[in-house]
Amino acid sequence: MTDSIRLGPRKALVAGSLGLVGGSFARHLRSLDRWQVVGVSRSAPATPIGYEHRCLDLLDAKACRTAAAELKDVTHIFFCARFSDRDKALEARTNLAMLRNLLEPFDRVAAGLAHVCLVHGTKWYGSHIGPYRTPAKEDDPRHIPPNYYYDQHDYVAALQPGRSWTWSTVRPHIVCGTTTGYPFNLITLLGVYGSICAELGLPLDFPGDDCCFRSISQATDVDLLCRSMVWMATTAECANQSFNIVNSDYFRWCNLWPRLAAFFGVPIGMVRPQKLTSSMSAAADLWSAMSRQYGLTHPDVLSLANWGFGDFLFSADWDDMSSMAKASRYGFSGAVETESSILGALGALREAKVIPPLK
């Protein structure tokens, strides 16, 4: 890849631009000099977003070819889109098809294509299955597939030789940001759960078990993730590499929980294992009433909190730890303190009237 591509005008295609990562990243690029942004997703944005957007179904190969023909000047592709399914084999086939449908026509027609960045995560190491080697390093052995990260990585790595573009993959863990409308989001889930406890005058119980409460965990501030993706897409030494990107510290829920209780103005509760999918089954009507009372922006609780996602997060009774040594060695610098990141994001939700004010 030539330095002129890296230093000249850049036009980014952000796939999955209405999700937590994709939306945050598209907005981040718009704040930088020399970047044009085109976001693509299946649905149209509900509100103005400040950059060009196109509705595109990545499973429609013909539509992807048409988009590529119209966007030949794209220099960077950031693939933040994903398809989730309990059938992991179907999930792997579908996510690979989405990437192939988008990348292959751009590979053919975008003469200035410089870099392709794939957003993956610590599921690469099997964090969704159970205990894994910690701190996880980028060259650790894979777990038994299926895992769509493997399929996408191997596809891009096999396609790239002989091309002028390079690739990278980024592996965050529990991305923390204030994007709404995407319920697989720890911040909005905590915001709803804590606000409901406050509304009902209840202490903030931890809904998982004691092992999860005391295990080591980690998170990735979305702004840190965005900075890292620009770094790896514009730094020659990062060509064809994968990087863990997590905050500069680890945390335990048992240490964070008192600060969360104080944020919501309720007593700290006890470790009370429960299934949020059951205990919060009546939350929709309550949240709707709270939205009317406090003038909240999102009256549909399920647009903010996926309780099944919470059940998974609070049942993980193993340590989650990724090593940042490789990213540091390659020159990435960024320090984010996790507890402050989470509390700051919750504060932003309160200020935006996504969750109620402190009583």
Domains of the chain as residue ranges with CATH = 10-171 (3.40.50.720), 175-219+250-322+335-351 (3.40.50.720)
CB contact at 8 A, 245 and 325? no
| Nearest 10 degrees: Cα torsion 337, 341, 343, 347 | 150
Q: Which residue has the higher pLDDT, 48 or 117?
A: 117
Confidence of residue 6 (pLDDT cuts 50, 70, 90): low
Section 115-123 average pLDDT: 98
**Residue 1: is its pLDDT beyond 80?**
no
Q: E-assigned strands of the chain?
A: 10-15, 35-41, 52-55, 76-79, 115-119, 166-171, 175-176, 204-206, 220-221, 241-244, 268-271
Residue 139 and residue 143: Cα distance in Å, rounded?
Answer: 12
The predicted-structure confidence for 49-65, as pLDDT tens digits, reads as follows 999 999 999 999 999 99
- pLDDT, residue 3, reads 42
Whole-model pTM: value is 0.95
pLDDT, mean of residues 305-318? 95
Mean pLDDT value across residues 242-268: 98
pLDDT band at 4 (very low <50, low <70, confident <90, very high): very low
For 245-332, strand residue ranges (E) read 268-271
pLDDT-derived band at 46, boundaries 50, 70, 90: confident
- DSSP SS3 for 82: coil
How confident is the model over 21-40, as a mean pLDDT?
96
Task: Write down the pLDDT at residue 334.
Answer: 87
Looking at every residue in the chain, the average pLDDT score rounds to 96
Q: Is 331 left (phi over 0), alpha (psi -120 to 50) or beta?
A: left
- Grade residue 7 by pLDDT with cuts at 50, 70 and 90: low
